[in-house]
């Protein structure tokens, strides 16, 4: 339980109900996309996520990008391993303990304590911190990040707060 004044639950129920609805919506979208495309949807959330290089990364004069694997270390740092190499810390800002990482193409999302969310659009070469809208002053820990495609994603915190995006993370709505 967090200290301070809690925001009133959204219309229609508690934060847990809202979180469950957000996750059901993500599952429904994933199932619809799977039916429409006939492709296997992988869901891009986990503590360690492997990503294979996409065929479009190779072209004349270019070599295919090496497969990258991502994880949160025992020290709560974001790490990456390329071509079966050693794990290297790529992001460890002060006062942030990471708990979730998601990969969708070259987009990497990492979240953790103090509602901290970071994004890289270039497979981890550069990073920006993303400010999530908050109804109250609490700073929950992000525990889950999931993107069903390049545009539609969800971030869930330990207190049941969920944020959704439908524009690839350019904007987020708290649910």
Q: What number of residues does the chain have?
A: 175
Average pLDDT for the chain = 75
3-state class of 40 per DSSP?
coil
Place of tokens 């059901």: 24
Choose from 64-73, 85-94, 159-168 the range with maximum mean pLDDT: 159-168
How is residue 62 annotated by DSSP? B
Res. 45 pLDDT band, cuts 50 70 90: very low
Listed by start position, the domains of the chain span 15-49+95-174
pTM for the full model? 0.65
d(CA 169, CA 160): 19
For residue 145, give Cα distances in angstroms to 23, 120, 170: 11, 14, 15
């Amino acid at each position: 339980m967090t200290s301070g004044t809690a925001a009133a639950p959204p219309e229609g129920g508690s934060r847990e109900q809202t979180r469950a609805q957000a996750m059901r919506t993500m599952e429904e979208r994933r199932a619809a996309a799977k039916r429409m495309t006939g492709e296997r949807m992988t869901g891009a959330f986990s503590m360690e996520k492997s990503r294979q290089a996409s065929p479009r990364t190779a072209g004349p004069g270019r070599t295919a990008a090496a497969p990258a694997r991502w994880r949160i270390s025992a020290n709560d740092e974001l790490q990456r391993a390329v071509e079966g190499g050693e794990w290297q810390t790529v992001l460890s800002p002060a006062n942030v303990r990471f708990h979730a990482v998601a990969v969708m193409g070259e987009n990497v999302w990492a979240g953790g304590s103090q509602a901290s969310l970071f994004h890289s659009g270039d497979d981890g070469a550069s990073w920006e911190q993303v400010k999530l809208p908050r109804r109250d002053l609490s700073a929950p820990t992000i525990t889950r990040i999931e993107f069903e495609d390049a545009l539609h994603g969800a971030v869930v915190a330990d207190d049941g707060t969920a944020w959704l995006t439908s524009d690839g993370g350019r904007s987020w709505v708290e649910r």
